[in-house]
Chains A and B, each alone.
Chain A
Amino acid sequence: MNPFAQSPHSRGLRRREGIARAVFLCVTVLLVLPIVAIIGMLLVRGLPAITPEFLFSEPRQGMTAGGIFPALIGTLWLVGVSLAVAAPIGVLAAVYLNEYAREGWFTRIIHLAIVNLAGVPSIVHALFGVGAFVLFLGMGTSILAASLTLSVMTLPVIIASTKEALSAVPMSFREACWSVGASRWQTVRHVVLPNAISGILTGVILQVARAAGETAPILFTGAAFFLPFLPQSVWDQCMALSMHLFVITTQVPNVPPRITYGTALTLLGVVLVVNATSVAFRYYLRRRKRW
């Protein structure tokens, strides 16, 4: 008989296997718990506040009553404008870096810049936004300045995630295209991008969700403390959900918890809707994916 079939270690091995499995399971559960708790608490306390009246009317009586409509619309403006700026620039830069640039000191500096930029705290981005957009470029505190600040904050991550998606397309596809006389651009356009698009969009949309939730970068650059009108153009200031939540929790006394939790839940809802869109989109594109 094979002496290894019934080794004296096998019982210990099985036990350790069980322990390892249990540890991993516990950690995973611990990870999920806070998320469930947060969402649960917000739902219980915030859901009763969510009425059409709350969502579609402006705050009244020094923000202690009424709704959050200007903040909701303001957040959509900020996110929309910053996406319109950051997504094309980020994707085009990533295509250049991944498909065209040769390894060299130039690309290495760019990589270093991207990595470091991604690690800069958002409050520092905010100060940069004040200096660069509000003051130097003379945009004043406006949706444009705030959105551009958000764009600067999200760009490095969009570039990194797009590069990741592009480099997931096998090199052999590119070589097959080049070897039949396709140019680099034709290869990118007809083979690389169609196969990377779901990953690219996922990365972009996740950054949109992040931009929707940030407070610091818009604090000095375009978000208003209280402004019960809807913005008319990108040169106006606007309210924003994240900023509004910060204001009513820390700056204004006697705000009913109902409103605070309702605002938090709406903000979470916006982020979750965006994330869900990305998941749905990814699923749709995955089904069309051909390898």
Chain B
Amino acid sequence: MESRAKIEIAGLGVRYGAHSALRAITLDVREGEILAIIGPAHSGKTTLLRCLNRMIDFVPGVRIEGIVRLDGQDVFRMRDPTELRRRVGFVAPLPVGLPMSIYDNVAFAPRMAGLRDKSDLAERVERCLRQSALWDEVKDRLDDLGTKLSGGQQQRLTIARALSHDPEVLCLDEFSIAVDPVTTMRIEDVLKELRPAMTIVLVTNLVQQARRLADRTAFLLEGDLVEVGTNDVIFSRAARDPRTLQYVRGLFG
């Protein structure tokens, strides 16, 4: 049975000045799935991800056409992008611990959204740190600086922060490039556990990661969507486009 579309992308094109980063992307993200987006460098993966929560707004000189809908609502017409960003969480490639305590790092987004109750906050911080598999390592030093954690811990802290505002969709942009393999596997387990409750869009340049984690995979190449399909199609001879077959086999990219 096919679940409904959480995000519908229709005819999405993005230009930075004269350079066109994405062309006519049409793609659905279904509710509760992990959708992986793969492709070589400069294929537009990150640009696509940044359109989903309008972080693209902060790029100067960008021009966007087409439509992105979240639960049927056009995101580019939303009056308050901060509300959209709370619904669509985002994890950047390099971990960023904000220069405040571990606790404050996770409590930041709920506080900014107006949550003041101390016990609510504490509960939420613990839940998010547990979900991101960091709780056991930091529970005794929540007042320490977030920036003093190791790279892998900071990446899990970043994920905890992204979970702290109860997003319906979680976007991850190459979360494993600054993280060791063991941490990568731990985060992958975290994502698998989140899956039924949360829709996850995962940009990755590790083809095998997409294969392990995703339900479906989209293949981008130089701003075009080459193919999107379930993993058993994309990672087999059944892939429609020969370039997909070549890429997932490591013949280029």
**A175-B55, A182-B82 known; A103 and B60 CB under 8 Å?**
yes
- In the complex, the answer to whether B99 meets A179 with C-beta atoms within 8 Å is no
- Secondary structure dominating the interface of A: helix
* A173 contacts B by Cβ under 8 Å: yes
- Closest chain B residue to A170, Cβ basis: B96
Q: Does the CB pair A181–B99 fall under 8 Å?
A: no
Q: What separation, in Å, do the CA atoms of A244 and B170 have in the docked complex? A: 68
The answer on a CB contact under 8 Å between B158 and A176 is yes
Number of A-B contacts (CB under 8 A): 71
Stretch at the interface among B38-46, B86-94, B182-190, B232-240: B86-94
Residue from the list A173, A179, A181 in contact with B113, Cβ < 8 A? A181
Q: Which of A161-211 contact B (CB under 8 A)?
A: 172-173, 175-183, 186, 190-191, 194-195
Question: What chain B residues lie within 8 Å of A103 (beta carbons)?
Answer: 60
Of B1-9, B161-169, B201-209, the one contacting chain A is B161-169
Q: Is the CB of B82 within 8 A of A172?
A: no
Chain B positions within 8 Å of A181 at CB level: 82-83, 85-86, 109, 112-113, 165
The answer to whether B98 has its CB under 8 Å from any CB of chain A is yes
Judge if A102 is at the interface, Cβ distance under 8 Å.
yes
Q: Tell yes or no: A289 within 8 A of B by CB.
A: yes
B47 within 8 Å of A (CB atoms): no
Q: A180-B162, A190-B108 are in contact. Are A175 and B86 (CB under 8 A)?
A: no
A291 interfacial by beta-carbon distance below 8 Å: yes
B89 partner, pick from A175, A180, A194, beta carbons under 8 A: A180
A21 is an interface residue with CB less than 8 A from chain B: no
Q: CA separation between A287 and B194, bound complex, in Å?
A: 39
Whole-angstrom distance between the alpha carbons of A102 and B147 in the complex? 30
> Closest B-chain residue to A173, C-beta based?
B98
Once the chains are docked, how many angstroms separate the CA of A186 from the CA of B100?
A: 15
Nearest-neighbour CB distance to chain A for B57, whole angstroms, equals 9
Which residues of chain A are near B99, meaning CB under 8 Å?
173, 191, 194-195, 289-291
Assuming the A-B contacts A186-B112, A190-B108, A290-B147, are A178 and B58 also in contact, with contact meaning beta carbons closer than 8 angstroms in the complex? yes
State which size class the interface on A falls in. 20 to 34
User: Could you tell me which residues of chain B, from 103 to 127, have a CB within 8 Å of some CB in chain A?
Assistant: 108-109, 112-113
Min CB–CB distance B168 → chain A (angstroms):
13
Which range contains the number of B residues in contact with the other chain?
20 to 34
On chain A, the residues within 8 Å of B162 by CB distance are 179-180
Query: Given A172-B92, A289-B99, are A180 and B112 neighbors across the interface (CB < 8 Å)?
Result: yes
Which residues of A lie under 8 Å from residue B98 when comparing CB positions?
A: 173, 176-177, 191
Question: What residues of chain A lie closer than 8 Å to B108, measured between beta carbons?
Answer: 177, 180, 182, 190
Are A176 and B82 also in contact (CB < 8 A) when A181-B165, A290-B145, A291-B99 are?
no
Query: When chains A and B are docked, how far (Å) is the Cα of A182 from the Cα of B108?
Result: 9
- Taking CB atoms, residues of chain A closer than 8 Å to B113 are 181
Q: Is the CB of A183 within 8 A of B82?
A: yes
Closest chain A residue to B50, Cβ basis: A179
Among A178, A191, A194, chain B packs the most CB atoms within 10 A around the CB of A178
Set of chain A residues within 8 Å of B217, measured between Cβ atoms: none
How far is B53's CA from A191's CA once the two chains are assembled, in angstroms?
21
- Taking a contact as CB atoms under 8 Å apart, the answer to whether A179 and B100 are in contact is no
A289 to chain B, nearest CB (A): 7
A177 to B90, CA, bound (A): 10
Bound CA–CA A183/B83 (angstroms): 10
Contacts of A291 in B (CB 8 A): 99, 145, 147
Separation in Å of the A285 CB from the closest CB of chain B?
Answer: 12
Q: What residues of B have a CB within 8 angstroms of the CB of A173 in the complex?
A: 96, 98-99
Cα distance A173–B97 in the bound complex, in angstroms: 8
B158: A residues at CB distance < 8 A: 176
Set of chain A residues within 8 Å of B145, measured between Cβ atoms: 290-291
Which of A103, A178, A181 is most buried by chain B, counting CB atoms within 10 A of its CB?
A: A181
- Whether the pair A102, B60 counts as a contact (CB closer than 8 A) is yes
How many whole Å from A212's CB to the nearest CB in chain B? 34
Residues of A within 8 A of B109 (CB): 180-182
In whole angstroms, how far apart are the Cα atoms of A152 and B60 in the complex?
A: 32
- A178 and B50 CA atoms in complex are apart in Å by 12
A191 to B96, CA, bound (A): 13
Interface residues of A in 193-247 (CB under 8 A from B): 194-195
How does the 8 Å CB contact mask read for B230-251 relative to A, with 1 for contact and 0 for none? 0000000000000000000000
5 A–B pairs (Cβ distance < 8 Å), ordered by A: A173-B99, A177-B98, A178-B55, A179-B90, A180-B161
Q: Which 6 A-B pairs have the closest CB atoms?
A: A290-B99, A180-B109, A181-B86, A179-B90, A181-B85, A176-B96
New A-B pairs, 7, CB < 8 Å, besides A181-B86, A289-B99: A172-B92, A175-B55, A176-B98, A180-B164, A181-B82, A181-B112, A290-B147
